[in-house]
Amino acid sequence: MTESTMDSLIPNWQLKNSGIIAPDERLPWGQTVAVGIQHVVAMFGSTALAPIIMGFDPNVSILFSGIGTLVFFLLVGGRVPSYLGSSFAFIAVVMAVTGYSGTGPNPNIGLALGGIIAAGALYVGIGLVVMAIGYSWVEKLMPPVVTGAVVAAIGLNLAPLAVKSISASGFDSAVGLFTVAAVGLCAVYAPGMARRLPILLGGLASYLLYLVCANGFGLGKPIDFSGVASAAWFGMPAFTHPEFSAPAIGLIAPIAIILVAENLGHIKAIGAMTGRDLDPYLGRAFIGDGIATIISALGGGTGVTTYAENMGVMAATKIFSTVVFVVAGLFAVVLGFSPKFGSLILTIPTPVIGGLELVVFGLIAATAGRIWVENKVDFSSPRNLFTGAVTLTAGAGDLVIKLGSFTLGGIGTATFGAIILYQILRDRDD
């Protein structure tokens, strides 16, 4: 990028018609709009699934994912291509705080929103520190062995929820397992860009199967489309106000540490793909993500984070133009103002959601292996082995620590336990 471009508020995108499209370049506007919509489709399977699992209104969450993406774009000056979608890191702690059963709207969502705001504020604070003194301390505090263990703990902590969702009956189990198979087949065998949308396409195939079997042959509870028929095409989402509770804040706020590790890895990956040094924008990226999370929770949306699905689309298309994410954000905002769209999302049957959970939560846990392998983590080191082992057990077993009115759930315990153990168990020559 030229010096004048770096000094401007946002890039002056240069038109390019083919080849690799850099962050400060763009395709013709028609193609740019199409690619932007594709990014919303790519993230939709996951970022719509997370709100449903936690009992959030999907319309509100989609709306704030779009707003959050635009906020992030402005905070990084349009230099970091990224979409912000609902973070799965919040699922376990939100369900613990609200006592949510896993079906229908969550009646205690306000308690979770207060904690999510606190997590966003902590995230912003970390970003300010990074801008002031750099990010090397983050890497020392959360090296790959720690981040991998925490990521695995999240997936394992959520696993019982997925199993429960497909275990109500033999029919539910069959639909759930079909969903798993459909997603896997799409991920491995689907042609072209379809391979990048396995959650969406696999979920759609399972939805159609359930519709035929339940509504057509009476094998399960029929899907009720009356809400979709009566919903308006456009209207205001149902916003929810936050409530602030010390126990809820204590349980949810530590998730900011996980988001930092996640965002750090994503930005470094994007930097590698684009051939650009994006490290100078890390602090601003943390702040942008944190502010987006706060704004989302103020209106009833989920906490947000950078999304791996969109990095997959960028890797496949070689289109890294940041203006694409402005289009994606605006398109998500439009969807957020469609009650009919939200009502359609809410018709997804529980066993279909359970099958998608089984895949997604498993992928979250398995991502730890990728982190460890790519960073050549040495598990012959007792320090690494012990840190990983204890973190996985604490997360999978949902180890809850209570100190008076303060409660730290399994994911929080695993996160802080991993960080503290790794620092305590230093080699003698460290």
**Per-residue pLDDT reduced to its tens digit, 309-367:** 677 677 767 888 999 999 999 999 998 999 898 888 888 888 998 888 888 788 878 87
Task: Tell the burial category of 154 from Cβ atoms under 10 Å away from its Cβ (0-12, 13-18, 19+).
Answer: buried
- DSSP for residue 389: H
pLDDT confidence band for 428 (50 / 70 / 90) = low
Kindly list the distances between the CA atom of residue 66 and the CA atoms of 54, 62, 137, 238, in Å, as whole numbers in the listed order.
19, 6, 31, 16
DSSP symbol at 222: P
Residue type, 293: T
pLDDT, position 407: 67
Q: What is the number of other CB atoms lying within 10 angstroms of the CB of residue 398?
A: 18
pLDDT-based confidence at 3, cuts 50/70/90? very low
Residue 234's SS3 state is coil
Q: How far apart are CA 146 and CA 306, in angstroms?
A: 20
3-state secondary structure of 14: strand
Strands (DSSP E) along 134-248, which ranges?
none
pLDDT, mean of residues 27-48? 80
Among 125, 78, 98, CA closest to 325: 78
DSSP string, 89-142: GGHHHHHHHHT--SSS--TTHHHHHHHHHHHHHHHHHHHHHHHHH-SHHHHHHS
Give the pLDDT confidence score for residue 309 in this predicted structure: 67
Exposed, middle or buried by CB within 10 Å (0-12, 13-18, 19+), for 99?
exposed
430 pLDDT more than 70:
no
Work out the pLDDT band at 2, boundaries 50, 70, 90.
Answer: very low
Helix (H, G, I), strand (E, B) or coil at 304: strand
Q: Taking a C-beta distance cutoff of 8 angstroms, is the pair 371, 150 a contact?
A: no
Q: What is the model's pLDDT at position 45?
A: 62
Q: What mean pLDDT comes out for the span 163-176?
A: 91
**What's the rounded mean pLDDT across residues 300-306?**
91
**pLDDT score of 406:** 66
Radius of gyration of the chain (CA): 21
